[in-house]
Homo-oligomer: A and B are copies of this chain.
Amino acid sequence: MTTDLSAVKAALKAQAVETPSWAYGNSGTRFKVFAQAGVPRTPQEKLDDAARVHEFTGVAPTVALHIPWDRVEGPTGYADLASYAGERGLKLGAINSNVFQNDDYKLGSVANPDPRIRRKATDHLLDCVDIMDATGSQDLKLWFADGTNYPGQDDIADRQARLGEALAEVYERLGDNQRMLLEYKFFEPAFYATDVPDWGTAYAHCLKLGPKAQVVVDTGHHAPGTNIEFIVATLLRENKLGGFDFNSRFYADDDLMVGAADPFQLFRIMYEVARGGGLKAETGVAFMLDQCHNIEAKIPAIIRSVMNVQEATAKALLVDADTLRAAQQSGDVLEANAALMDAYNTDVRPLLAEVREELGLDPDPVAAYKASGWAEKIIAERVGGEQAGWGA
């Protein structure tokens, strides 16, 4: 195991995890959304909650928005929202477009056979860039629910052409410091053919678009058995890894807390990130959460998720690169594996407690949050109005 703990600690202090505004609101499955008391009713209240996560973890300084879920009105609405965030020690992060919840999008958005709907969807994406200009966000994150449910329903190749056209138009609109992050997903809500189903498709589109287009890896968006860290390593090699949507899954896109289902996989992913230079700020890899806390309390679940990313990162940083490389080069399968496992099997919680204390934080973020009274406060205060809901 590596012995330079000061470098490890420095890297852990520099880490940033973006939390998504929608994770603070209600979510559920198609069967039922279970509402929770105290859930935010406005974008501002979501930021209030996100500020608590950052307060207790110290590494969650930005918040991703979802448009129109976080729509605010008025000519200075988004600038005001950015100020509101700033006053709470936060910045607004990626702008996530939503072109799947309007009735018009039943058969798709930018890949819809109807040109009117494609225009509407593309215009929404362009609006999101306007919002980025107002909020200072650098990343436009695009996930499309587009696809088909039945063979023959639409032409697969035509849909790719339409998608490519819309992406090109939006790409042109990006400012110099703005990126387009294209997300892929294996399936759901499309059940036959999804228009961006895998990293290969996202990569091919991004390559055509240019350097400002990069791929987002949502850890829950793969076929069973997919080796995600391989994709991470490959995209990093190609300079096309824009970032992550972290969550975990046992089955499909379960959107559980990251690290909850397979902590070893998360470690392997973070190892490849570190190995490929992805922890350096200049590489520009965004570490975002994208989760649904359907049955567990939301704020502590998000704190726990941030901590899980930290623990996996800490273990990845503890891998002794020299020992590992020597074993790999000599073809010693067991020793090479053991070098990786030595780091994974280490209990990094004491190290992270130290890191937090050095940052002036409570070593136990969950306990500190519980002791803060915030949960009781929002349950008491946030009465009436309409709760924010992921599937609303």
What residues make up the interface of A, taking CB atoms closer than 8 Å to B? 27-32, 34-35, 100-101, 103, 105-107, 113-114, 145, 149-157, 160-161, 186-189, 191-194, 197-201, 203-204, 207, 222-227, 229-231, 233-234, 236-238, 249-252, 254, 256-257, 260-264, 268, 272, 275-276, 294-297, 300-301, 304, 311, 324-325, 327-329, 331, 333-334, 336-341, 344-347, 349, 366, 391
Instruction: Judge whether A224 and B225 touch: CB under 8 Å.
Output: yes
Which of B150, B154, B252 contacts A188, CB < 8 Å?
B252
Q: Is the CB of B230 within 8 A of A193?
A: yes
- Asked, given contacts A100-B32, A191-B254, A227-B250, whether A107 binds B347 with beta carbons under 8 Å apart, the answer is no
Bound form: Cα–Cα A107–B207 in Å: 32
Supposing A150-B256, A261-B192, A391-B30 touch, asked if A331 and B114 sit within 8 A by C-beta, the answer is: yes
* CB-defined A-B contacts under 8 Å, sample of 16: A29-B30, A32-B391, A106-B295, A113-B329, A113-B331, A150-B257, A157-B234, A160-B234, A187-B225, A191-B251, A193-B227, A198-B198, A200-B234, A225-B250, A262-B262, A347-B347
A233 surroundings in chain B (CB, below 8 A): 156-157, 160
Is the CB–CB distance between A225 and B204 below 8 Å? no
A127 to B: closest C-beta gap in Å: 19
Q: How far is the CB of A245 from chain B (nearest CB, A)?
A: 15
- Say whether A263 contacts B260, CB under 8 Å: no
Whether the pair B275, A155 counts as a contact (CB closer than 8 A) is yes
Q: A338–B366 Cα gap in the complex (Å)?
A: 11
Q: A336 to B268: give the CA distance in the assembly, Å.
A: 26
Chain B residues whose C-beta falls within 8 Å of the C-beta of A114 in the assembled complex: 331
Closest to A334 in B: B296
**A265 smallest CB distance to B (angstroms):** 8
Interface centre among A34, A161, A231, A331 (most CB of B within 10 A): A331
B339 touches A157 (CB 8 A): no
The smallest C-beta distance from A167 to any residue of chain B, in angstroms, reads 15
| Complex alpha-carbon distance, A30 and B22, angstroms | 14
- Nearest chain-B residue to A27 (Cβ)? B30
Cβ B29 vs Cβ A188 within 8 A: yes
Q: Which residues of B contact A391 (CB under 8 A)?
A: 30-32
Partner of A295, one of B149, B251, B325: B149
Q: Report Cα–Cα, A222/B344, bound state, in Å.
A: 26
Tell whether, in the assembled complex, residue B200 and residue A150 are in contact, meaning their CB atoms are under 8 Å apart: no
Q: Which residue from B155, B341, B366 sits with its C-beta under 8 Å from A325?
A: B155
- Determine if A192 and B250 form an interchain contact, defined as CB atoms under 8 angstroms apart: yes
CB distance from A291 to the nearest CB of B (A): 11
Known: A152-B327, A194-B227, A225-B250. 19 other contacts (CB 8 A): A29-B30, A32-B391, A35-B103, A107-B331, A149-B294, A150-B257, A150-B296, A150-B337, A151-B337, A154-B336, A161-B237, A193-B227, A198-B198, A200-B201, A200-B231, A204-B238, A223-B226, A304-B338, A334-B366
